[in-house]
Amino acid sequence: MRVMLKVWRQNNSKSQGVFEMYPVKNISGDMSFFEMMDMLNDRLVLDGKTPIAFDHDCREGICGTCGLFINGRTHGSLRGITTCQLHMRSFKDGETIVVEPWRAKAFPVIKDLIVDRSSFDRIMEAGGYVSIKTGGTPDANAIPIPKINVDEAMDAASCIGCGACVATCKNSSAMLFVGAKVSQYALLPQGQPEARERVLNMVAVMDEEGFGSCTNTGACEVECPKEISLEHIARMNREFLKANIS
> In this predicted model, what pLDDT tens digit does every residue of 138-197 receive, in sequence order?
676 777 889 999 999 999 999 999 999 999 999 999 999 999 999 999 999 889 999 999
Q: What whole-number distance in Å separates Cα of residue 98 and Cα of residue 113?
A: 12
Q: What whole-number distance in Å separates Cα of residue 53 and Cα of residue 168?
A: 21
Position 44: which residue type? L
User: Chain-centre distance of CA 87, in angstroms?
Assistant: 19
Its pTM stands at: 0.92
List pLDDT tens digits, range 38-86.
Answer: 999 999 999 999 999 999 999 999 999 988 999 999 999 999 999 999 9
Among 186, 201, 195, CA closest to 235: 186
Q: Does 3.40.50.970 match the CATH number of domain 3-110?
A: no
Domain ranges of the chain: 3-110, 118-245
Q: Regarding the domain with residue range 118-245, which homologous superfamily does it belong to in the CATH classification? A: Alpha-helical ferredoxin (1.10.1060.10)
